[in-house]
Structure 1
């Protein structure tokens, strides 16, 4: 089947266009949610290739681009980046595989070559040359050799540098051209064989298998999952914050929990109004100051009396919002916190704290400087201002150098906010570990950032232009989805040595016991939607998953963090096996685990997995039992079939899970059980699985019924990501009450007892 047949140039040979697309990792077909194959229309292929920097608008361009694709690797002295598994295995092997990883080096025919590896610790290793019969090729008028070198098996985990020199560059090469791995000499090619040529590329050695989750195989664990902004206390300013996170960890840790999983804490806009969805951030590298606890900033104690009085007044006004159970008010809270933070920023820091701030800024480096600059600019300029897309106003340009001087004060303020976030996140993780948690805080990593975000501006060199990430049509949204987030450009990300990806992971993992990677399938392939196309008219673009998963495993191993991949939805069956082999946990949701139309027995769940009853895109279990989501979707016009059919299917599915629980003695045989008893039974049922982690949603522990996010809606029709934590009666639940909350204690005790068996 073909979605549509449109092309900018009908003379393009489609078979040739498909070969070009496949050469650049662009899928020409995809399998729909109905199981049927669909063709990607030619016009979409042309647009996606254009976003990759590959001209394909005419048949002549397709021919030329095919030739370029074939010669491209030969034009580079080194690959843009080399990512291998420890033990110097090949990309298909595991630890201990006898196959070597060979790196191709392209040099002028007959040139003298020296290759060395400069390790992270400064140690220099000399890789051995391997004899692999390869005929020289004429490349842009230069006869070029391909020489293969083996990565030394003793090379340790880490980020190393591969250096190649030829001709006069051997033994020095100070006047040679080094362009970050492009492998081109001064003449823009591989050189003539007589001049000095030097090239570098990043060489990353990653774990063949992430081992941080291994202890969980001996003793599985459980924890709470919550939307932090909705989880408030009497000390909150109307929004749950980092200190609330520490308290929730302490409360649940005392009851046997091993972790608290929170929504993405990524930064949003620097000032109200802010985007409510934590999955549409301004950056994935830095954190949202909205979550700061003002009273935890040490400088508060040294403010002048009038300044302290003003902050006390702001606190009192904001805390009145804690009792509201209908909708959160991020903008009001953020405005109050920013006013308080402005006053705190003026307080003189002690020498020790000033040194700590400076050290943090130095470690965060240029990335923090650029983000703080974006924040300062964004306070003055709207998201649609032309400056954000002006090449002359990119980070590092003369225009931006001038802005850095002009906005130095505001830049420092936003750097300071990130330092406070870092301090309070460190404190939360410390509190979690002191409470006995084995993991502590588990962060959530969003798929991407908005098209008008800080990341889109700062990382433009590593992102693909003219496209956004989305999803093809599925059973829940038959029009497909466009998430308005620019994707990584596979080649440019590699040419950057994967540094943007690494730096993002390091910040997220800095004070974390784990990370959940939303839509981890995006590290394998992403659905690209070209600008001007509907979401259904997109194409899958492949990524080097060996590199991305390997780097994720490396940074997690170094941080001592567990990685949980959200691997729900449409995917190729081998992906889950691959993730398990690399030591990355998957995700299982009770309602989605079926076997030929019947509930999958818990004994058949995956071992390397986080299993839970629900997820944030479904109603809490109390609401699901009542079928609230069917009523809501009908009221919003989201059903694709009569409500009676939708209700009948839901009731039948629900009855099958409750029947399974009854068959195991978890519910009365006569079916007479209340809502709370059913929720407890479903969690006990889940605890019978071999999965190494079990998740308990905080909303299930207090009886909340409202869904946090209703896919397919906007804030005008449903308050997505703005629902405060409440009980079954719709009354706001504050964290202070949890220790005395009988329902909360009963569910956590049931889970802890079940997991201990």
Structure 2
């Protein structure tokens, strides 16, 4: 669908859009201001449930927006910072008496008093209605409480969330430095893998990098759930669910019931594993579907083994703790095995897991629902083992999980959480310097109003699940918790607009759940953003992200001492080639071959060469590379080490070392703006000679050791 150009927006349409947090213009990466198309504004407002197709609808919607808060006794949710008071507007019939109180998470009751007199009444739906302010007392503990109000026979309640002023786990890192590996787990295999890196490989990677090399953390790609059976989406950033995990990563042999397989069943599983093991040495392409199909067959055999009473009890406890969310996810998995994503059955009942279609199949598919719930329990157990291995190896942080921006349109979350997602919209990014045609991530956005109405429950539950066995979380595109680029489905990436969210609530809840888990939070705050956003994140104790190639000041590389302390600093990111490939200009060649450049390739190469030359000058000025003309010239590996040492000269508390750089890999893992034009997320870890690198090889990998030594010795901890 191409949005048709329309006339200029009316002042009423602009007012309506702004009242709902919808931007009517935006500033591009080049600094120019651009007006949002009228058609885009109308479609976005429609997705928010606000009619705006005609002038009469716009006027009616403006009136409705003004009256909506007055129809509520309490707001949908209250989020505040610890230690402070909060004023809450309460609306009731003129002359009414309202009582308000809080039931805290621990069951204690706290009174809430009215502050000041009732305001002058206004007529709402034919009745005089007034407003007063009630004061939430200071000193409430951190947590999820409930605010209650009573007015005659009318009662209301809403979630009251008290969040940390500053995330304590981040504050503890001030004056301390940790470096860690950044890895795409599926690509990091061992001799025992089934062709894809798994949770046991993660435990080994953490142990090797922590105990032998002194790493403080391992940052991995999102481990979110994908489809319940092959074929599966290769991108870890386009999951089915962000709350649950991908059984593809389960190490079958580590499931306790595996030891009790009958001989015939064990022979089948061993045969499946034996057929997959040669894929660990495949250097060119990862085959998720083959690995997943083999694992599911094996896991079904293991699932048939009777669990011990203790194990059965722990599984029951896990299911009870996960509650309805797990039951709905497992139902979706079971249904997806029966009906493909485009099957008409999915549209029979639009109410998702709450409708009669779902209820009927819960009974019919009880065994498969139990199986998929069991798989999630195994994921949880093996993640717990990986985190314990990391901390036992001396890691101060351990495993850092990555949180994707959103989910697939046809996935579990889109079905089970449809009440808090915006229909007819996808998210992405407007054109920028690196992605000059913009990006469409094919993911439905949170509906800001409905998410607040729900008390942010789905958001909270997702964070709790990810943080259950983690030392940290990286939030991809954390700017999306402030505003997201909404694109009407079918429109081009540049034909969208920003929609704003209650960042005080979203960041506060993120900090609360991380503090309770004892985890650090790293926000990927790259791209187009307003300058105050980074200051706000720092104020709340959320780490930022700095990538060496993107940090510039007055068109020259940013000096090391100008980097942020509360930051994860690294040379590159998964959306760029490994550093050896970047130095060779592979990213320019690749984008040209795919038709992704917005200017002539010669101009692009010249700009890239100038950028790299400026960086190399900065390295020489600090003695990290020899002067030009020195013989022999520095090797690619020596230049890579110098670039990492440059990051180690910064005050940043966290330094990221890409595993691909540590082993000499050169191939790009992901090229934004493509799907199947390039084998995104399907590149195995290999060395400079193209040979697969296994976890078994890392303890004796000289290139790995040299890069780590360059960071640890030439730039000691602050």
Task: State the TM-score, normalizing by the size of structure 1.
Answer: 0.92
What residue number does 1:351 align with? 309
Paired with 1:154 and 1:756, the residues of 2 have a C-alpha distance of 38
Contact 1:469 1:487 in 2 (8 A): yes
What residue number does 1:176 align with? none
Is 1:67 matched up with 2:63?
yes
Q: Secondary structure at the match of 1:417?
A: helix
Contact 2:641 2:710 in 1 (8 A): yes
Paired with 1:5 and 1:137, the residues of 2 have a C-alpha distance of 41
Offset at residue 4 of structure 1 (A): 8.1
Higher alpha-carbon deviation: 739-748 or 223-232: 739-748
Higher alpha-carbon deviation: 278-287 or 476-485: 476-485
What residue number does 1:6 align with? 5
Paired with 2:371 and 2:12, the residues of 1 have a C-alpha distance of 54
Is 1:86 matched up with 2:82?
yes
What residue number does 1:408 align with? 366
Equivalent of 2:636, from 652, 657, 675?
Answer: 675
Is 1:138 matched up with 2:129?
no
Aligned length: 712
Q: Deviations over 1:485-542 (max 9, x none)?
A: 1100011001101000000000000000000000000000011111232222111111
Offset at residue 473 of structure 1 (A): 2.0
What residue number does 1:44 align with? 40
Paired with 1:401 and 1:323, the residues of 2 have a C-alpha distance of 46
Offset at residue 297 of structure 1 (A): 0.4
Q: Deviations over 1:594-620 (max 9, x none)?
A: 111111111100111100000000000
Is 1:467 matched up with 2:425?
yes
Paired with 2:174 and 2:448, the residues of 1 have a C-alpha distance of 35
Q: Secondary structure at the match of 2:490?
A: coil
Paired with 2:554 and 2:562, the residues of 1 have a C-alpha distance of 13
Is 1:698 matched up with 2:659?
yes
User: Are the structure 2 counterparts of residues 392 and 525 from structure 1 closer, same or farther at C-alpha, using a change threshold of 3 Å?
Assistant: closer
Paired with 1:677 and 1:477, the residues of 2 have a C-alpha distance of 30
Offset at residue 145 of structure 1 (A): 1.7
Offset at residue 32 of structure 1 (A): 1.7
User: Are the structure 2 counterparts of residues 278 and 132 from structure 1 closer, same or farther at C-alpha, using a change threshold of 3 Å?
Assistant: farther
Q: Give the 5 Å matches for 1:314-463.
A: 314-463=272-421
Is 1:149 matched up with 2:149?
no
Offset at residue 251 of structure 1 (A): 0.5
Offset at residue 755 of structure 1 (A): 3.4
What residue number does 2:717 align with? 756
Contact 1:389 1:457 in 2 (8 A): no
Q: Deviations over 1:578-606 (max 9, x none)?
A: 00000000000000011111111111001
What residue number does 2:206 align with? 249
User: Are the structure 2 counterparts of residues 246 and 252 from structure 1 closer, same or farther at C-alpha, using a change threshold of 3 Å?
Assistant: same
Gaps in structure 1 of 5+ consecutive residues: 89-99, 168-195
Q: Secondary structure at the match of 1:755?
A: coil
The one of the two structures with greater contact order (alpha-carbon pairs below 8 A, sep at least 6) is 2
Equivalent of 1:732, from 692, 695, 704?
Answer: 692
What residue number does 2:168 align with? 211
Offset at residue 281 of structure 1 (A): 0.2
User: Are the structure 2 counterparts of residues 579 and 389 from structure 1 closer, same or farther at C-alpha, using a change threshold of 3 Å?
Assistant: farther
User: Are the structure 2 counterparts of residues 389 and 464 from structure 1 closer, same or farther at C-alpha, using a change threshold of 3 Å?
Assistant: farther
What residue number does 1:181 align with? none
Contact 1:108 1:142 in 2 (8 A): yes
Paired with 2:717 and 2:448, the residues of 1 have a C-alpha distance of 45
Offset at residue 631 of structure 1 (A): 2.2
Paired with 1:112 and 1:33, the residues of 2 have a C-alpha distance of 53
Paired with 1:449 and 1:246, the residues of 2 have a C-alpha distance of 27
What residue number does 2:20 align with? 24
Gaps in structure 2 of 5+ consecutive residues: none
Offset at residue 141 of structure 1 (A): 1.3
Paired with 1:296 and 1:749, the residues of 2 have a C-alpha distance of 34
Paired with 2:360 and 2:293, the residues of 1 have a C-alpha distance of 28
Paired with 1:22 and 1:645, the residues of 2 have a C-alpha distance of 39
User: Are the structure 2 counterparts of residues 568 and 739 from structure 1 closer, same or farther at C-alpha, using a change threshold of 3 Å?
Assistant: same
Q: Give the 5 Å matches for 1:266-345.
A: 266-345=224-303
What residue number does 2:182 align with? 225
Offset at residue 120 of structure 1 (A): 0.3
Contact 2:349 2:356 in 1 (8 A): no
User: Are the structure 2 counterparts of residues 486 and 132 from structure 1 closer, same or farther at C-alpha, using a change threshold of 3 Å?
Assistant: farther
Q: Secondary structure at the match of 1:216?
A: coil
Offset at residue 112 of structure 1 (A): 2.1
Paired with 1:360 and 1:691, the residues of 2 have a C-alpha distance of 38
What residue number does 2:96 align with? 111
Paired with 1:660 and 1:537, the residues of 2 have a C-alpha distance of 39
Paired with 1:5 and 1:698, the residues of 2 have a C-alpha distance of 46
Is 1:126 matched up with 2:125?
no
What residue number does 1:97 align with? none
Is 1:237 matched up with 2:233?
no
Q: Secondary structure at the match of 2:74?
A: coil
Contact 2:3 2:39 in 1 (8 A): no
Q: Deviations over 1:164-185 (max 9, x none)?
A: 1111xxxxxxxxxxxxxxxxxx
Offset at residue 647 of structure 1 (A): 2.0
Offset at residue 391 of structure 1 (A): 4.2
Is 1:55 matched up with 2:51?
yes
Paired with 2:598 and 2:59, the residues of 1 have a C-alpha distance of 44
Paired with 1:315 and 1:532, the residues of 2 have a C-alpha distance of 43
What residue number does 2:457 align with? 499
Higher alpha-carbon deviation: 701-710 or 145-154: 145-154
